[in-house]
Amino acid sequence: MTIIEYFKLNEEPFRISPNPRFLFLNEQVKEASSKVTYMTKHRTAPLYMYGAIGSGKTTLLRRLYEELQDDTTYNLRLLFAPNVKSSMAFLRAIMDAFGVPTDRAYDRSLKLFEGFLIEQYKQNKVPTLFIDEAQNMTRDILKLVHYLLNFETRDVKLLQIVLTGQDELAEKVKRYQELRSRMIPIAINSMSPADLQNMLRFRWSVASGNTSQAPFSDDAFQEVFAYTKGLPRDAIKLADEVLRHLYISQQDTATAAEVTHAARQLDMEK
C-alpha cells in the first residue's frame, strides 16, 4: 500500500515542485496576480517580484504564465535567467524565445528586436517576458533590461517585463537607480499562521478531491508554522515528512509531537 492509497488520495498533496494547481490564493497572492495581470495587459509599467527562498514566487509566476497564455492579447515567454555574463548572450536568449533572428553585431540585434516589437504593437499584441531566478542577473544584463524598456511609444512600453527572484534581486534593482525608477516592486512575504494552515488544507483538498480533511491537529499546524516561519516550501516539505511518518506508524492524525519528530529528521530548528 502507498501513502496515496493509505489516505485515499488522488495524488500527493505535498510535493515541492511548483505546480500551479496547488497555489493557494491568499490575499497577498491575489494582489500580486492582479497587479501583474493589469499592469502588463495595460502596458503600465515593468515589475519585479521578490521574496525569500521558498516563499512561492516561482509557483505564482507559473500560475500567471498558464493563465495569461490563454489570452490572445499576449505574446508571452517565460525564461529562467541563464548563467551568462554578457548582455549579448542574454539578448540572444530573449530573441530566441520570441523567435526573432539575431545578428552577430549587438546593435543590429537590438534593432531587429525593436522592429519585432513595433510590428507586435501594430498587431495589438503585448509581448511579455517573465524572467525567473532574476537575482542571478549581472549589472550588464540589468543594463540590457533598462535599455529594452526604452523601446516605447509616447504612451506605452513595447515590451512588458516581469522579473522574479530572491531578496537579492530587490537589492540589485535598488542599487541601479535608473532601473529602479522605472519598475514597480512586488514583495512576496512569509505567510501568517492562518494562511499557512489554510494553504496546507487547500493542498490536501486538491489532492483528495475535496473528500477528506488534512490529517493535522490544530497544535500540529501551529508547530509547522513554528518550524517554517511561514515559508510555504518549507511547510510543504515538513508536511510531506509528517505524512510519511503517519503512514509508517499507521496513524491517522498528526499531533505537535509528530511534527517535531519530522522537523528533527529534516534538521529544522525553531
**Using H for helix, E for strand and C for coil, what is the string for the chain?**
CCHHHHCCCCCCCCCCCCCHHHCCCCHHHHHHHHHHHHHHHCCCCCEEEEECCCCCHHHHHHHHHHHHHCCCCEEEEEEECCCCCCHHHHHHHHHHHHCCCCCCCHHHHHHHHHHHHHHHHHCCCEEEEEEECHHHCCHHHHHHHHHHCCCECCCCECCEEEEEEEHHHHHHHHHCHHHHCCCEEEEECCCCHHHHHHHHHHHHHHHHCCCCCCCECHHHHHHHHHHHCCCHHHHHHHHHHHHHHHHHCCCCCECHHHHHHHHHHCCCCC
Mean pLDDT of 190-210: 96
pTM beyond 0.85: the answer is yes
Arithmetic mean of pLDDT over the chain: 94
Report the amino acid identity of residue 147.
Answer: Y
Q: Which domains does the chain have, with CATH numbers?
A: 27-188 (3.40.50.300), 191-265 (1.10.8.60)
**Edge-to-edge strands, sheet with 74-80:** 74-80, 126-132, 160-166, 47-51, 184-188
pLDDT at 101: 96
pLDDT in tens, 51-78: 999 999 999 999 999 999 889 999 999 9
pLDDT in tens, 93-118: 999 999 999 999 999 999 999 999 99
Helix axes 27-41, 57-69, angle to 10 degrees: 50
Lowest mean pLDDT among 25-39, 83-97, 180-194: 83-97
